[in-house]
Amino acid sequence: MTQLLHLDTHVVVWLYAGEHDRFPSGLRRRLNTDSLRFSPMVRLELTYLHEIGKLTEAPHRIITELEKAIGLAESTLAFGRVIDLAERATFTRDPFDRIITAQALCARASLATKDARIRAAHPADTVWD
């Protein structure tokens, strides 16, 4: 049975760029076997990064390519449920990190992230190994 794995923004960017060597071997295996999802907040963060010039590719292109290539899909959880949980997150003031993490937790999924703050706050719900 496949597990559900949510992806943090940097994971989406690195997958699109083909930078698979950035991922530890255990995570690479999961990226090949799990059902991959992302929060709509990842799409918004990609837009922000594109607007400030940190990404050259348009977010729509990144998402569309990964949907076709690896079956990545946007999470469809009710936003109100996600925000209910994000409101209680105190590990960061970053709204992107709070909502992306809350989305994965609401879905009862692991979150693939290199972010040490997120992993420290949610060690049982994050993967980077």
Digit-coded pLDDT (tens) for 81-98: 999 999 999 999 999 999
Number of structural domains found in the chain: 1
pLDDT at 17: 97
Q: 110-119 as b/e, with b when 16 or more CB fall inside 10 Å? A: bbbbbbeebb
Digit-coded pLDDT (tens) for 5-53: 999 999 999 999 999 999 999 999 999 999 999 999 999 999 999 999 9
Say what the pTM is. 0.96
- Residue at 125 is within a domain: no
- Report, as an integer, the average pLDDT of 49-62: 97
- Residue at 107 is within a domain: yes
Q: How far apart are CA 81 and CA 29, in angstroms?
A: 30
Q: With the C-alpha atoms ordered 104, 99, 62, 49, is the resulting torsion angle positive or negative?
A: negative
- Residue at 45 is within a domain: yes
pLDDT at 1: 61
- Residue at 54 is within a domain: yes
- Residue at 129 is within a domain: no
- Cβ neighbours of residue 123 closer than 8 Å, sequence gap 6 or more: none
Q: How far apart are the first and last CA of the chain?
A: 20
- Residue at 11 is within a domain: yes
Digit-coded pLDDT (tens) for 93-123: 999 999 999 999 999 999 999 999 999 999 9
Domain of 91, CATH number, reads: 3.40.50.1010
In angstroms, the Cα distances linking 29 to 77, 99, 121, 122 are: 26, 26, 24, 21
| Angle of the 40-51 helix axis to the 95-106 helix axis, nearest 10 | 160
pLDDT at 129: 83
- Residue at 65 is within a domain: yes
Per the structure, the complete domain to which residue 36 belongs is given by 4-119
- Residue at 128 is within a domain: no
